[in-house]
Amino acid sequence: MTVKRLGCLHAHHSNIRYLEESLDRGTFTCVHFVDPGAIQWLTRAAASEAATRQVQAKLRGQLEWIAGCGVDAIVITCTNYIAALSPLEQALDTTGGVPVIAIDEPWFDELLTLGDEAVVAFTNPATVEGTMERLYAHAKLQGRAFKARTAVSGPGCFELLLQGREAAYAEQAEAFLLGLIRSSSAPVAAAQLSMTDAAIRAEAASGARILSPMQALRGRLEGLR
């Protein structure tokens, strides 16, 4: 079996281990690219058209650079990156045809199989608008009238991750997800890759399924074999 080489573009280094720990090493190998300034730039882009153009140009340059490393596919793990580049089909001109997989698209497909409504959980409020716009557009393309309620964790949760306090972040995110499970009859989905550990722990504690992007991505990558 040929090992597939993935170029993975992240906005934060903490996302690296989710792919390294979740993917079969005999099937996939990952080359990681992290832009530590992305979160700040994406925040600026939300309020400035000029900054948006700069971000898009930077991202296309990064995709071209990654594609030139001889990868079989590119995985983008930052939902705000994805929203800035949307529609991603335009990015294929930059990558020379190397497939670009947005981590939220397999998650959208899985989310729609759960029914017609869900609670979509976030710890980073800056990712809510772009992710939900893409989710509703995805559902519309499939002829689905999908209803989602968004929920954002309390202030300070995502900042724990940015400060490198990953254990504290996962603990707070887990409590947040468990609270949503207790208060809602609809399925709960974790929208961000950084919520993977919290989702696994909340599932184990509650017995309820919590759909996370990493679960769905594994299924999509099977198609690259």
pLDDT in tens, 170-199: 999 999 999 999 999 899 999 999 999 999
Quick one: pLDDT at residue 59?
A: 83
Using DSSP's 3-state secondary structure scheme, residue 89 falls into helix
pLDDT in tens, 43-92: 666 667 777 777 778 888 888 899 999 999 999 988 777 877 765 555 55
Domain span(s) for CATH 3.40.50.1860 in the chain = 4-102, 105-213
For domain 4-102, give the CATH number: 3.40.50.1860
Quick one: pLDDT at residue 225?
A: 59
Which residue(s) pair with 78 in the sheet?
none
H-helix or E-strand spanning residue 10: strand 4-10
pLDDT of 217 strictly over 90: no
Tell which residue, 98, 107, 116, has the closest CA to residue 219: 107
CATH architecture, domain defined by 105-213:
3-Layer(aba) Sandwich (3.40)
